[in-house]
Amino acid sequence: MRNHTVVTEFILLGIPETESLETVLFFLFTAIYLCTLTGNVLILTAIIWSSQLHTPMYFFLGNLSMFDLGFSSTTAPKMLFYLSGQSRAISSQGCVSQLFFYHFLGCTECFLYTVMAYDRFVAICHPLRYMVIMSHRVCSILAAGTWVGGCIHAIILTSLTFQLSYCGPKEVGYYFCDIPAVLPLACGDTSLAQRVGFTNVGLLSLICFFLILVSYTRIGISISKLRSAEGRQRAFSTCSAHVTAILCAYGPVVIIYLQPNPSALLGAVIQIMNNLVTPMLNPLIYSLRNKDVKSALRNLCLRRGFALENK
């Protein structure tokens, strides 16, 4: 990579059409980012310390919180840095890292939503065999598979993007290093990287979405056969948070990668929703309608307050 890359740093031009709004955006995105960090850390801490949340569903929810922390932190710190008036330059190694971790964590999260849909399918369609099917070993293998799959996906995309020669210009017309923003700066033929990049991202998203759709179709059929209204309500409540999170996550991906000619501003707004807003909303989505999570968070706060009083 070093033999072919002449450019040693890139310049992030930022969010399109927001030249005079840097200060406002800085405070807005700082607040969102802090809420994202706080919410996901609280969820993760509650799952770790509360024994009642040591189940497969909350194990995967804890993984989701970790990924949300990493996913938002891939792009937000650098964006906040230059919105505060600091340098917009990013080293070539930093650009490579940003692109890799963005696709690694994004793809891993996509796989994780699919695994969580399967978990809900087993819980509702095979409740008596749930703990046998979703054993600790199976959950660990599924979680590790999401990590490995996301890593392979990111390695392929990053290698194809940065094996090309970058000899100038070096202005990235976006607020972070993503494939559509970086490839136009390459001096060589980018057709292979473009085809593989869009096909890989689009195909994986569609496959995962199809598997999720199949799982929830089976879940819907099972719920419709329940005679008890209370049972149907409980099953629906269990799945509603996950369905909401999926819609928040897949909506931006579909709009970004399936539009033939999206506007630069619309694409940036959707990416910001995907990178910052969705990770902030996930803790709210999974805690507001979940009695176990709310109880664990309440106990965690009470325990923390008691510890502070004893000091």
Q: What does the pLDDT look like over 171-214, one tens digit per residue?
A: 888 889 988 888 888 887 777 777 776 667 777 878 888 898 89
Tokens of 199: 């096909």
What is the reported pLDDT for 77? 92
Taking residues 9-29, what's their average pLDDT? 87
Considering only CA atoms, which of 32, 50, 122 is closest in space to residue 290? 50
Q: What is the pLDDT of residue 96?
A: 92
Q: What is the per-residue pLDDT for 17?
A: 79
Whether the Cβ atoms of residue 287 and residue 36 lie closer than 8 Å to each other: no
Q: Stretch 18-45: mean pLDDT, rounded?
A: 90
- Which pLDDT score, from 0 to 100, does residue 306 have? 47
pLDDT at 235 over 80: no
> For tokens 């959707």, what's the residue?
270
Please report the pLDDT score of residue 30 as a whole number. 94
Rounded to two decimals, what is the model's pTM? 0.85
Sign for the pseudo-dihedral over CA of 67, 240, 249, 160: positive
Domains of the chain: 9-310 (1.20.1070.10)
